Structure 1
Amino acid sequence: MKRKQKIRYWAILFLLVIVAAAAAFFREKPMIKQENNPQITFISATFEKDGSTYDADIPGEEISQQLNDALTSLFLEAKIRNRFFLPPQNYTVSENSVYFTIKVSLEQADTLSMLVNLCNLPSYNSAQFGDTHYHISGQEELYEKVYDLLEDTISVYAVKR
């Protein structure tokens, strides 16, 4: 009987350690912070319209301060957490799908940048720092807000593949 109690004690202790480690690993944190002076330095969109695939690339110097501020505001409100699995590395463009990649430069002790990858297919969404991808909490809502901001702009820069 004493041996069963010891095994039960160690099993419970092991489970508690696993739960605590998972809670620490998957905790939410801000996507970006205001003190990092975030600036949108590039926007890329890929989409299909009327059976054709288009790419729209907007360099930083052509991004208005108003658009920069609006996107930055959305990202300041967003939360991220560690991902268990990496997002898919490629995608198929289909009607009603828009794939955004937005580069955000952050000022810190060293220059650092983040890529925000958004799509209406949630498995592709991530905040990416180097090779590390983070899950975006509320990613569907963030995608919709970014899409609303960029819908007209990407049409102007769209180039047929």
Structure 2
Amino acid sequence: MYSLHLINKNIGKFYENIPFSGLTSLRFMIVDENVQDRESLKNVLEFLGYSVVSVAGYTEASKHIRAGENYEFIITAIRSDSCMDFEKFLLSVKDFLEDSSVVIASERAEESCFQSFENDEKIAGAIHKPYKMEELERIIKSVRQ
């Protein structure tokens, strides 16, 4: 296992010891209105060799998914565009998420929101923003085992 040290100057956070586990064939979709958060995570994942599509909201994400694009992981902010809430988004694309796992992200500790989805087989886990690679790695490892 390799690790590297990246500094994200856009949001002033340090990403330390980001693991590279050799799973570079994974495809990610990032759904987040916050451009800095979304592009920062995209840059880190692409640097590690992953294929990444980033979109601003559920409406755009839904179009990609319904068009047959497959992603192993969809990392989505719990709050996104005003046209759709997370629950409606998940219900609208669930039938298209054959091999996809959804990771919910939030800036606040919205534990009650996370708990309402904990029994959904498509929800792989929840992480807090700003994105922490060790949290994401833990979720990926638990799904891939």
User: What TM bracket, shorter-length normalisation?
Assistant: under 0.3
TM-score, normalised to structure 1, is: 0.23
Higher relative contact order (CA 8 A, sep 6+): 1
TM-score of the superposition, structure 2-length normalised?
Answer: 0.25
1 or 2, which has the higher strand percentage? 1
Higher helix residue share: 1
Q: Which has the larger radius of gyration?
A: 1
